[in-house]
């Protein structure tokens, strides 16, 4: 059985009772920082996934895959501000904003770099860091229409440092992760790099700053 890293597992235990199926407990329409969610590749119908299994080639870092099962607990990612910044919980995520995806069970961030992916020969995507802290290669820009990332919208994620798009093209792994799809970075836009927010806990949007400073004495 694969084990979560120390520290990351306690976070999962903390949020697990709060997780709810998409659309059952909230009418929020915009993705917010601090939310924990699953991401569905809409072309291949698999969810972005990671686990404590390392690549046998390339970087040797923790592998990132796509899984068909909707109920896999290793498919939860937390939305955070880009490296060395804090995006306050409940802040609306803007189109064009750079963010991090931190894998809940292992505490590592969605990451890419100039290594070749093992199956398709595209750019490797891995999970990297410790307790949610990695480096600038963990940053991804949200590409969407309008002002904010809408929960029901198909969006793309562009790697800030190398400009590849988070993608799935259907290649499947064998043992020990039999049937899981390769996730990688592609250099061009296509139907293979669209994603949609699915199950999770979505933080309520932050309250707007008050402009009425009227004060009355009791």
Cα angle for residues 128, 132, 133 (degrees, 5° grid): 75
Distance CA 45, CA 148 (A): 24
Under 8 Å between Cβ of 193 and 186: yes
Provide the pLDDT for residue 208: 52
Q: What is the pLDDT of residue 176?
A: 87
- Residue 209's pLDDT is 41
Tell me what pLDDT residue 28 has.
77
Is the sign of the CA dihedral 68, 38, 3, 106 positive or negative? Answer: positive
Predicted pLDDT at 206: 72
Say what the pLDDT of residue 210 is: 39
CB 146 within 8 A of CB 97: no
Domain 8-18+30-201 CATH (choose: 3.40.50.720, 3.40.50.2020, 2.80.10.50, 3.40.718.10): 2.80.10.50
- Which segments of the chain have a pLDDT < 50? 1-27, 209-218
The confidence score (pLDDT) of residue 15 equals 41
């Amino acid at each position: 059985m694969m084990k979560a890293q120390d520290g990351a597992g306690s976070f999962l235990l903390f949020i697990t009772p709060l997780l709810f199926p998409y659309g059952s407990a909230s009418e929020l329409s915009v993705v917010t920082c601090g939310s924990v969610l699953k991401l569905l590749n809409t072309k291949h119908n698999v969810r972005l996934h990671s686990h404590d299994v390392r690549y046998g080639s390339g970087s040797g870092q923790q592998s990132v895959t796509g899984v068909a099962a909707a109920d896999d607990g290793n498919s939860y990612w937390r939305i955070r501000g880009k490296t060395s910044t804090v995006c306050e919980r409940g802040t609306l995520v803007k189109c064009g904003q750079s963010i991090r995806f931190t894998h809940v069970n292992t505490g590592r961030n969605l990451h890419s770099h100039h290594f070749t992916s093992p199956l398709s020969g595209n750019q490797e995507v891995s999970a990297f860091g410790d307790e949610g802290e990695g480096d600038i290669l963990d940053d991804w820009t949200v590409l969407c229409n309008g002002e904010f990332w809408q929960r029901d919208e198909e969006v793309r994620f562009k790697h800030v440092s190398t400009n590849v798009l988070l993608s799935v093209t259907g290649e499947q792994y064998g043992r020990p992760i039999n049937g899981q799809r390769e996730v990688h970075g592609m250099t061009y836009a296509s139907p293979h790099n669209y994603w949609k927010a699915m199950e999770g806990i979505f933080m309520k949007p932050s309250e707007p700053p008050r402009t009425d400073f009227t004060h009355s004495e009791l």
